[in-house]
Amino acid sequence: MSSTTSKKNPWGPHLWPPFTQIISASPPIRVLGGDGAILHLENSESLIDAISSWWVTLHGHAHPEIASAIYEQAKQLEQVIFANFVHPQAEKLATRLSALTGLERLFFSDNGSTAVEVALKIAYQFWANQGEPRQQIIAFEGAYHGDTFGAMAVGERNLFNEAFEGLLFPVSRLPWPHTWWDDQNVENKEQLVLQQLEKLLKTPTAAVILEPLIQGAGGMKIVRKEFLQSLENLVRKSGALLIADEVLTGFGRCGQVFAFQRAGITPDLISLSKGLTAGFLPMGVTMAKESIFETFIGEDPRVTLWHGHSFTANPLGCAAANASLDLLAKEPHLFEKFEERHRPHLEELSTHSKVSKPRLIGSIAAFDLAVNDQKGYLNHTGKVLQAKALEHGVFLRPLGQVVYLLPPLCLTDDQLEKCYFAIKKGLDCF
């Protein structure tokens, strides 16, 4: 037994947690239940889940309407192979998402990473099916699209995937011209990127992939809609496809149902997950234009999209997604007005000497801790602030020196105020 595994493991003898180095990790917090924005712990204490449990819990924990929809569906049909059968929940969800996105075709998968994989495969094969194979994929520095191989390839190359570098396909990469309040240089940054993009697009390009308006795991980095509109114009002139990874940004997170709508762009392919089922069940979706779908129809079996998952269009997941869409339609003010609720708190916080680059979009508020040491995911300052926030009943998970709030839409004003109070107390530690 190695010296590492012989040490006491707070996760026990069998569990292997994600994105966690056991030797340096804090003990896990045992949770017994949830209600709205609150997590109930085994010691009768509670925490505000200020990050929506990794950005998935859209309407709050244990929402009774979604739980009921899953229960009713489970009594009728829990699973069926989708390569041979169809069922009402899938048909309903496909019709609704098509109407909401403007893209006609829906392909089911299991999670955000696989939804991106499917989009990449569709984009690449779209050109091959037409006898015009295009090799180049363009992505952005700092991007995160998932942890499967294709998703890793188009994401930022860093310590998280460097062990697999030799297995990842080549990608042309551009800077992400992110901005913040009072950023005086944003237009210059954008123009430099657009100039580089125009040059790259002279090479036949299969697709450009991006996270519309905000890069999530890359540090909650926001770009302006004007930049994305100019980018789309260049992509259209080149004939390449535009992929929007809305795994984080979809379902109201950026102030409209989808971020691409707020940005004023029209992707050819859209990847969805996380808030799709409001955090109740794993599910991924890739939306595609009908004109793309049509290139996969023909007598030649080689034009077929040979891709699938065992739980494709799982009826329970579809039921959860439909119930979540019902709630979004019934209470749109919860996501449309969240930005206004954040603003006064973030404005006050932005005057603190340890706060830099404040930024805000929809339900997502973020800033950088002003630190002098190494920046990035491994910066320790976020963990210090996280520990202090826990003392005040708020769960945060900073991305290195990047602190953010991304709470469930049901968060009350009192709970939001408590989140900012906990952050202020944490800032006082530096």
| pLDDT tens-digit map of 116-153 | 999 999 999 999 999 998 999 999 999 999 999 999 99
Boundary of a domain, candidates 315, 330, 345: 330
Q: Give the pLDDT score at 21.
A: 87
Both 126 and 257 in one domain: the answer is yes
pLDDT grade for 22, boundaries at 50, 70 and 90: confident
Q: Cα–Cα distance between 216 and 212 in angstroms, integer?
A: 10
What is the tens place of the pLDDT at every residue in 209-250? 999 999 999 999 999 999 999 999 999 999 999 999 999 999
388, HSE (Cβ side, Cα atoms, 13 Å): 19
Question: Which residues, other chains included, contact 371 with Cβ-Cβ below 8 Å and sequence gap of 6+?
Answer: 379, 381, 401
Both 215 and 348 in one domain: the answer is no
CA dihedral sign, ordered 419, 260, 67, 32: negative
3-state secondary structure of 51: coil
Query: Cα 367 vs. chain centroid, distance in angstroms?
Result: 18
- Comparing 94-108, 137-151, 156-170, 270-284, the range with the smallest average pLDDT is 156-170
DSSP state of 399: B
| Count of domains forming the chain | 2
Instruction: Give me the phi and psi of 111, to 5 degrees please.
Output: -165, -175
Boundary of a domain, candidates 264, 299, 330: 330
Q: Note whether 274 and 112 are within 8 A (CB).
A: yes
Q: Give the pLDDT score at 7.
A: 56
Helix, strand, coil percent values for the chain (each to nearest 5): 40, 15, 45
Q: Cα–Cα distance between 267 and 259 in angstroms, integer?
A: 11
**Averaged pLDDT for residues 195-219:** 98
Residue 106 lies in a domain: yes
Residue 71 lies in a domain: no
Which of these, 367, 371, 377, lies nearest to 424 by C-alpha position? 367
Q: Cα–Cα distance between 66 and 272 in angstroms, integer?
A: 18
What is the tens place of the pLDDT at every residue in 65-109? 999 999 999 999 999 999 999 999 999 999 999 999 999 999 999
3-state secondary structure of 127: helix
What is the maximal distance between C-alpha atoms in the chain? 67
What is the tens place of the pLDDT at every residue in 385-411? 999 999 999 999 999 999 999 999 999
**Averaged pLDDT for residues 260-278:** 98
21 versus 3: which is more confidently predicted? 21
Q: Note whether 219 and 378 are within 8 A (CB).
A: no
**Averaged pLDDT for residues 365-374:** 87
Both 43 and 168 in one domain: the answer is no
Residue 2 has pLDDT above 70, yes or no: no
Both 101 and 202 in one domain: the answer is yes
Q: Give the pLDDT score at 430.
A: 81
Residue 268 lies in a domain: yes
Boundary of a domain, candidates 303, 330, 357: 330
Both 145 and 258 in one domain: the answer is yes
Both 41 and 167 in one domain: the answer is no
Both 133 and 43 in one domain: the answer is no
Strands (DSSP E) contained in 224-383 are 241-245, 269-272, 284-288, 355-361, 364-369
Both 402 and 306 in one domain: the answer is no
Share of the chain above pLDDT 90, in %: 90
Instruction: Give me the phi and psi of 250, to 5 degrees please.
Output: -75, 165
Q: Cα–Cα distance between 274 and 283 in angstroms, integer?
A: 8
Average pLDDT, the chain: 95
Q: How far apart are the first and last CA of the chain?
A: 40
CATH number of the domain bearing residue 274: 3.40.640.10
89 versus 370: which is more confidently predicted? 89
Q: Cα–Cα distance between 420 and 394 in angstroms, integer?
A: 9
Q: Give the pLDDT score at 6.
A: 45
Domain residues for the domain of 347 are: 3-62+337-427
Per the listing, tokens 């994989």 go with 117
Residue 178 has pLDDT above 50, yes or no: yes
What burial class does residue 206 get, using C-beta atoms within 10 Å of its C-beta: 0-12 exposed, 13-18 middle, 19+ buried? buried
Share of the chain above pLDDT 70, in %: 98
Residue 70 lies in a domain: no
CATH number of the domain bearing residue 398: 3.90.1150.10
Residue 68 lies in a domain: no
Radius of gyration of the chain (CA): 22
Both 254 and 113 in one domain: the answer is yes
Both 299 and 193 in one domain: the answer is yes
Residue 113 lies in a domain: yes
Both 200 and 343 in one domain: the answer is no
Residue 189 lies in a domain: yes
pTM for the full predicted model? 0.96
Residue 67 lies in a domain: no
207's tokens: 């697709």
Both 315 and 170 in one domain: the answer is yes
| Angle formed by the axes of helices 413-427 and 381-391, nearest 10° | 130
Which of these, 34, 54, 49, lies nearest to 412 by C-alpha position? 49
Q: Note whether 157 and 141 are within 8 A (CB).
A: no
